[in-house]
């Protein structure tokens, strides 16, 4: 299935600042870039090389302290939907290096704080069945409320408030999965059914020798998710990073099926 993506960004930056953008679809992992174009007005661009699960990143050094970027792409996703219910948890000593890092707590996913909760809530489950139970619990326990959290909200704060947006749902799934001994990473991307339209976030868990996308918001499925990148939490895959505070002007994200 093919998807058309159109993203426009407009921010004011601090004088002399540069921005690291991560808005381009990844060129791996069950998807193919049919064509893409990134235009940034009045700026010097410097591409960064791929690093692990981080793929398409670019530095924009602006000349007038205003960042105006537009990204347009058509992406074909051929990622299959896999039934994960019967997939086993991989023993710790059998995990590959790429998965081990995603067992540890991180800034927004303090998984060590959830171990007792997971043991009490899901005592007889493991592997894919446990992940599906975690997904369903998060979906049922949280209310999707735009504006209810910000970039500093952790999975524990979401757990306590019982509300959030896709970022918070993904953080909580990751934290609970890691607390149960299953590697989980935070994935940023695009989906045609995301409401309101915006960048999207889901979890990705390591089961049965591979990574599997899990969306507790139910706004995407593996075959409709265009992945940008993956990391320990949202801090690794922010769509824009700057050395100083940036002032928001406009952000528009449109994703449509072809």
Largest CA distance in the chain: 59
- Whether residue 228 sits in one domain with residue 116: yes
- Whether residue 218 sits in one domain with residue 130: yes
Predicted model pTM: 0.95
* Average pLDDT estimate for 162-171: 99
pLDDT digits 0-9 by tens, 26-42: 988 799 999 999 999 88
What DSSP string describes 201-214? EEEEEEETTEEEEE
Picking from 142, 123, 135, the residue whose alpha carbon sits closest to that of residue 177 is 135
Whether the per-residue pLDDT at 54 is higher than 80: the answer is: no
**Average pLDDT over the chain, rounded to whole?**
95
CA 220 to CA 189: how far, in whole Å? 10
- Whether residue 222 sits in one domain with residue 122: yes
**Is 37 inside a domain boundary?**
yes
Whole domain around residue 144: which residue ranges?
Answer: 92-236
pLDDT at 52: 66
Confidence category of residue 234, pLDDT binned at 50, 70, 90: very high
Q: Looking at residue 53, which CATH number applies to its domain? A: 2.60.40.2250
pLDDT digits 0-9 by tens, 195-214: 999 999 999 999 999 999 99
């Amino acid at each position: 299935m093919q998807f058309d993506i159109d993203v426009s960004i407009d921010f004011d930056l601090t004088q002399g600042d540069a921005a690291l953008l991560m808005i381009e679809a990844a060129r791996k992992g069950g998807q193919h870039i049919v064509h893409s174009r990134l235009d940034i007005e009045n700026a010097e661009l410097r591409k960064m090389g791929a690093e692990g699960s981080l793929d398409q990143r670019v530095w924009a050094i602006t000349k007038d302290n205003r960042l105006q970027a537009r990204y347009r792409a058509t992406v074909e996703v051929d990622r299959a939907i896999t039934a994960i219910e019967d997939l086993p948890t991989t023993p710790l000593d059998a995990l590959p290096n790429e998965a081990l890092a995603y067992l540890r707590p991180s800034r927004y996913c303090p998984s060590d704080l959830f171990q007792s909760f997971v043991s009490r809530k899901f005592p007889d489950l493991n592997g894919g069945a446990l992940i599906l139970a975690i997904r369903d619990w998060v979906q049922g326990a949280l209310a999707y409320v735009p504006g209810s959290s910000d970039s500093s909200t952790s999975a524990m704060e979401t757990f306590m408030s019982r509300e959030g947006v896709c970022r918070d749902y993904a953080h909580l799934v990751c934290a609970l999965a890691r607390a149960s001994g299953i590697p989980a990473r935070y994935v940023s991307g695009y989906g045609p059914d995301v409401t309101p339209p915006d960048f999207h976030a889901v979890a990705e868990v390591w089961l049965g020798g591979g990574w599997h996308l899990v969306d507790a918001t139910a706004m995407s499925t593996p075959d409709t998710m265009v992945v940008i990148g993956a990391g320990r939490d949202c801090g690794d895959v922010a769509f824009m990073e700057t050395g100083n505070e940036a002032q928001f002007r406009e952000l528009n994200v449109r994703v449509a099926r072809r």
